[in-house]
Amino acid sequence: MTTGSINISQAAKACQLTPRMIRHYESIGLLGIAQRSPAGYRLYTERDLHSLRFVHNARSLGFSIEQIKQLLALWQDRERSSAEVKGLAQLHLQELEEKIAGLQAIHQTLSNLAQCCQGDARPDCPILNQLAHGDAEKTRRDGS
């Protein structure tokens, strides 16, 4: 190993990732091509670890790969305005709010269906009937 470089297993441990995920991030361009040891092993610098932690943190907040590419570019551009970063964050917040609303609607539909089911020994089941024949979107919109 060169001075200041660590192998992929050590990098994975330091960044709470798997070696496979690090290789994936490298293959899709979120991380630069790793240096190699004389034996061909990947070597990572402290700068690489900062980038990996950045990607890991962004993924934990639900940013897409494309959004992370944009955020990384902004992070590395010292001339960028924070308004650009805020804009990306606000767009992501809007996407999350839409997903939350969709999940709440699904929750309400399933809750309504579960309340309609007697849950007894009879074979009749409104949940299965709705799944087989009903319009789940209509049930979600109507709240019935």
Please report, for the domain that includes residue 5, its CATH number. 1.10.1660.10
Three-state SS for 1? coil
Highest mean pLDDT among 2-6, 55-59, 134-138: 55-59
CA distance 136 to 128: 11
Give the type of residue at 134: G
Q: Does 4 share its domain with 69? A: yes
* Owning domain of residue 13: 1-80
Q: Does 10 share its domain with 57? A: yes
Average confidence (pLDDT) over 97-103: 97
CA-angle at 129, arms to 132 and 127, nearest 5°: 110
Q: Does the pLDDT value for residue 136 go beyond 90?
A: no
Q: Does 111 share its domain with 135? A: yes
Q: Does 64 share its domain with 90? A: no
Name the band, by pLDDT with cuts 50, 70 and 90, for residue 143: low
Whole-model pTM above 0.75? yes
What is the tally of structural domains in the chain? Answer: 2
Q: Does 5 share its domain with 71? A: yes
Q: Does 7 share its domain with 40? A: yes
Residue 97 CB partners (closer than 8 Å, separation 6+)? none
% the chain with pLDDT above 90? 79
- Residue with the bigger pLDDT between 141 and 18: it is 18
Q: Does 59 share its domain with 95? A: no
Name the band, by pLDDT with cuts 50, 70 and 90, for residue 1: very low
Contact call for residues 56 and 63 (beta carbons, < 8 A): no
Contact call for residues 43 and 33 (beta carbons, < 8 A): no
Q: Does 3 share its domain with 71? A: yes
